Structure 1
Amino acid sequence: MATVDSYGPVHTAGNAVPPLDDDLAGALEDLAGVHEGIDLIRDGIRLLADDLHTTDSTQTLLATLAGSAGADVITAIGHLVARLANADHNPALRALPLDVQKATLLRGEQAAHHLLDTRLHQSASEASAAITGT
């Protein structure tokens, strides 16, 4: 049996990581060129999707991406949305009328509230735990 680094035995070509499905590939394509930071995120998502993982690294990634409310990527994005929508933290919004600033702040806070809701993270947490049966 051939092995691939520390990922264990690979006994068939079927163990190769398949190409991205149309949904994920399309979502990544739709995000192209928005901002350099988004391009880095796209590259990271593509790397994670195309990489060969162990069960342990898969479990960790599921928790880190969305399954550990308060300490995962979705949480970080929620906080970033709130920050970008706040004129106190985003000088680009300061020239807007005060009512627009307030509406933007409110919507950013609402988005963060939903993204930080533990129920949003529950399924990914359960998927991570299911790998080891915990």
Structure 2
Amino acid sequence: MAGRDPHSNPVHTAGNAVPPLDTDLAGALDDLAGVHAGIDLIRDGISLLALDRHTTDSTQTLLAALAGSAGADVVTAVGHLVARLANADLNPALHGLPLDVQKTAQRHGEQAAFHLADPDLHQHASEASAAITGT
């Protein structure tokens, strides 16, 4: 391929460019700005994932890692984090609350983690991942 212009590859056309963030995703990320440095890192990660060029293989893996593998994906990890933050035994910021409020927060955090780990919640992302390879 000596002498061939590397910029003439039809894969790298304007029509094949990764589009900018859609208004729904951009708006959701904007709404989370400044909440906490950790949330800003998550926002940056989501933006990177949305705007990066992927292969079919990496897309399949990302779908599973984000929400398509109950117990081993980002949605499940967020559920565990919610349960941790809502538990006064694991979050000292809640120690000053009345015991009944602590227990109510803990119960709701545990329920959030339970529901976010529900395999039904992960089914569509899992199926989207599987559809890419036809499995």
Asked if TM exceeds 0.5, the reply is yes
Structure 2 residue identity aligned to 1:10: V
**Please, what is the CA RMSD of the aligned residues?**
1.5
1:28 maps to which residue? 29
User: 2-side partners of 1:49 and 1:18: how far apart?
Assistant: 9
* Separation in 2, partners of 1:107, 1:12: 49
| Larger-Rg structure | 2
Question: Aligned runs of 1:9-28 on 2, under 5 Å?
Answer: 10-28=11-29
Q: Report SS of the residue matched to 2:20.
A: coil
Structure 1 unmatched ranges of 5 or more: none
**Aligned length in residues:** 130
How much identity, in percent, do the aligned residues show? 80
- How far does residue 12 in structure 1 lie from its aligned partner after superposition? 2.5
- Which 5+ residue runs of structure 2 have no aligned equivalent? none
Moved more, 41-50 or 9-18: 9-18
Alignment partner of 1:37 is 2:38: yes
The whole-number CA distance in structure 1 between the counterparts of 2:50 and 2:56 is 14
Check 1:17–1:112 CA distance in 2 against 1; reply closer, same or farther (3 A cut).
Answer: same
User: Residue in 2 aligned with 1:62?
Assistant: 63
Tell me the CA shift for residue 9 of structure 1.
5.9
Residues 86-105 of structure 1 aligned to structure 2 (within 5 Å): 86-105=87-106
Query: 2:125 aligns to what?
Result: 124
Q: Which runs of 4+ in 1 moved over 6 A?
A: none
Letter in 1 for 2:32: L
Q: Contact 1:2 / 1:11 at 8 angstroms: preserved in 2?
A: no
> 1:10 aligns to what SS in structure 2?
coil
- Could you tell me the TM-score, scaled by structure 2's length? 0.92
Counterpart of 1:47 in structure 2 is 48
